[in-house]
Structure 1
Amino acid sequence: MRHAVFPEPGEVGLRADRLRIQRGDRTILSDLTIEIRPGELLALVGPNGAGKSTLLAAICGDLSPAAGTVEFAGRSLSGWTPIELARRRAMLPQRATMSFPFRVAEVVAMGRAPWAGTPYADEDDDAVAEALRLTRMESFTDRVFSALSGGEQARAALARVLAQRTGMLLLDEPTAALDLHHQELVLTLARDRARLGGSVVVVLHDLGLAAAYADRIALLAGGRLVADGPPVEVLTADRLSAVYQHEIEVFPHPGTGIPLVVPKRSTG
């Protein structure tokens, strides 16, 4: 990460303007505008089918919009070559699959591919070692990726993304397969990256994790942006109850004031 170049915190690193994404006749995202700023961890939350992963794919450049624009560092996303983007943003998909019996160390080293043939290739070994250490995967280096548990594969995939050493991280449900301890580890790493000046966008289903770690939360529903702002402003009981179609209570944590989100349950 030492060679990653970050804009000043608060500047707009990426902007999606009036974005519309179509799949056949179906509109997945509609008239969505959002900014991603360096120095912030932005959490995308919302019910299943809200468009969170689709938005992340559009931001990444994997999906072309039917309407609207995506600008990265003041330039249209379509104006960047794939290798230029790969040196500036790293994408962690929901699922990482390997067709061949790669060892964990080899999988993590794949994150260094964008830097091949550049002076930064000299950092490959250090970058891989650092990523393995940060994700607590040092003891797994010689294990075959496909033989790992789901949570171990998720951490190895995250290590690959960290080894890429880019200024922007796009993480799609990075905590879904993880236990409580490793959920906290992953989001601490994401928050630390933002504190260093990077841009981090993470798709989460756990609203409590989003409240605890995000600087901003973007709440999506039905392919539209419902709210965008600090957790305490976005995560209100009335709004969440309407979006999730389930009665939800929100309380401030007695020690930190961070919103605690609790669905109402029948006691009978």
Structure 2
Amino acid sequence: MTNRQPTAPTRNRRRRLRALGRRQALRVPGPVPPGTTRIEAVGLRVERAGRPVLDQVDLRVRAGELHALVGPNGAGKSTLLAAISGDLPVAGGTIEVDGRAQADWSPVELAMRRAVLTQSSTLSFPFVVEEVVRMGRAPWTGRPEEEHDDVVVAETMARCDIARFAARTYPSLSGGEQARAALARVLAQQASVLLLDEPTAALDLHHQELVMRIARDRADAGDAVVVVLHDLALAAAYADLVTLLADGRIRAAGPPAEVLTAPLLTEVYRHDIEVVPHPRTNLPLVVPRRQPHPLENR
């Protein structure tokens, strides 16, 4: 009796079926009620070259909330974001995602749950903007959600004000345009946890407000959003909660009005800072105290 080897089409079909089986076995996230804890870090410690850059940090990220991480340079904001996103190993403490240890989720399962915007997004190849945004749809490849790729990509580019750049190569864009394209890729992922590291850093005033409005809208729609910010006025205006870090530890956490106080900010930032209410909205305005210009005294 002769053992017949499967033909190439048969082998390919079997590989596709095995891949589909693995896709079907994935734990796909479902609807989450507002207030549900999506990510929780307890006693987090991160070290670099044997030196702690985060120590005994607790953080809870809930559905329906926009949580701002603020603090001076070197405070540990980006390190904390990288740790809770799973992109940075920790030396101590625990991180849970949707009630399970972070390590219990596969990379694809994590990508279905949380999307991460890093400070810089460098591409080695001249992909056009639409291709870059479409990369965000990768976790849903081979699933029914893939049918919505074209609509999601188009809507996301329009929302981030980059639709007119769709056919341009990513390296040809300005820094601010690249930042918005990178954000569009993250939003196209349609994960219900957004971890955004300084999304407004390279943007003009109009697009800073646009990006923070997007983040606010996503939180209002039930997503959990964490944003690293240097602009304390943006944190005061858009965040539900603010965590203030300094020297790798949490100095304060709570609603913006409780955390963004002049005495605490003056101490942490080592600069005289004033916090005054906006005359119309009553939102806190955080401004450095400056000496009058000499010409003003003439």
TM over 0.5: yes
Contact kept, 8 Å, 1:215 with 1:231, in 2: the verdict is yes
Q: Does the CA-based 8 Å contact 1:38-1:194 persist in structure 2?
A: yes
1:241 aligns with 2:271: no
Aligned residues: 266
In structure 2, distance between residues paired with 1:260 and 1:19: 31
Structure showing greater relative contact order (alpha-carbon pairs closer than 8 Å, 6 or more residues apart): 1
Separation of aligned partners in 1, 2:187 and 2:266: 36
Q: Partners of 2:182 and 2:83 in 1: how far apart? A: 21
CA contact (8 A) 1:4 1:165 kept: no
Q: Partner of 1:251 in structure 2?
A: 276
1:136 aligns with 2:161: yes
Instruction: Kindly provide the CA deviation profile for residues 183-231 of structure 1, in whole angstroms up to 9, marking residues without a partner as x.
Output: 0000000000000000000000000011001011000000001111110
Aligned to 1:90: 115
Percent identity at matched positions? 60
Show the counterpart of 2:172.
147
The secondary structure found in structure 1 opposite 2:69 is strand
| Counterpart Cα distance in 2 of 1:262 and 1:58 | 30
**AA aligned opposite 2:180:** R
Match of 2:196 among 155, 158, 171: 171
1:114 aligns with 2:139: yes
2:55 is the alignment partner of 1:30: yes
Q: Is the Cα–Cα contact under 8 Å of residues 167 and 199 in structure 1 kept in the other structure?
A: yes
* SS of 2:37 mapped into structure 1: coil
Q: Does 1:190 align with 2:212?
A: no
Structure 2: gaps spanning 5 or more residues:
1-27
Query: Counterpart in 1 of 2:8?
Result: none
Partner of 1:124: 149
Instruction: State TM-score, norm by structure 2.
Output: 0.88
Q: Which residue of 1 aligns with 2:42?
A: 17
How far residue 117 of structure 1 moved from its aligned partner, in angstroms, is 0.9
2:84 equivalent to 1:59:
yes
1:5 deviates by 3.8
Whichever of the two has the greater Rg, that structure is 2
- Scaled by the length of structure 1, what TM-score is found? 0.97
Matched, 1:103 2:134: no
- C-alpha separation in 2, matches of 1:65 and 1:6: 29
Q: The residue matched to 1:136 in structure 2 has which SS? A: coil
CA-to-aligned-CA distance 1:64-95 (integer Å, 9 cap, x gap)? 21010001110000111100000110000000
1:212 is aligned to 2:237: yes
Aligned residue in 1 for 2:183: 158
1:39 aligns with 2:60: no
Compute the displacement of 1:63 (Å): 1.1
For residue 12 of structure 2, what is the aligned residue in structure 1? none
Inter-partner Cα distance in structure 1 for 2:216 and 2:32: 17
Q: Cα RMSD between the aligned structures?
A: 1.0
For the 8 Å contact 1:6–1:167, the answer to whether it is kept is: no
Q: Measure how far apart 1:6 and its partner are.
A: 4.1
